[in-house]
Structure 1
Amino acid sequence: MNRNIIISAAISGSGPTENKTPHLPITPKQLADEAIAAAKAGAAIAHIHVRDPKTGAPSRDIHLYKEVVDRIRQESTDVIINLRTGMGGDLLLGPDSNPTELG
């Protein structure tokens, strides 16, 4: 039996958690710092949802993801980076006259 354990650290919850605790990492620097700290504490995976630095709300901004990843990699941290949006996808349907014409 394999008894190896893989720890995945969920760095920042998905969804509207920004008002539930003052300890939630929001900025790319805070997210990266928490991922690095989790890796140093033994986590193999850093599960990361980026957030709007101004509001703390979940975000899909690719630049925020890039900054988090770049900061983690600059530290040469041996951690698997698991990026997530957690907000699901958006389906934009066409006008009422032709809803199958996707937006």
Structure 2
Amino acid sequence: VDGGLQTIAVSLPAVVTADLRLNEPRYASLPNIMKAKKKPLEEKTAGDYGVDVAPRLEVVSVREPEGRKAGIKVGSVDELLGKLKEAGVI
């Protein structure tokens, strides 16, 4: 929140949004970067957190869109208006 700190508890999945001004980056010093390189990195899976990652969508079919039909060239504005009226655009 503006000018303060707000801690909330939500059940997942959740959507969280933030204001642009919220992100003020902190820059790590060189000694801290070197210390971080030596620390072990734990790899966890979604199952470790009790999250089900099974797919919920089924792809029924995939096909390419139909190709576009060739256009026509008109010689004048009057001819263009006539073609647009025929097509029911105007």
The interval holding the TM-score normalised by the smaller chain is under 0.3
Structure number with greater Rg is 2
TM-score by length of 2: 0.19
More contact order relative to length (CA 8 Å, sep ≥ 6):
1
TM-score by length of 1: 0.17
More helix by share: 2
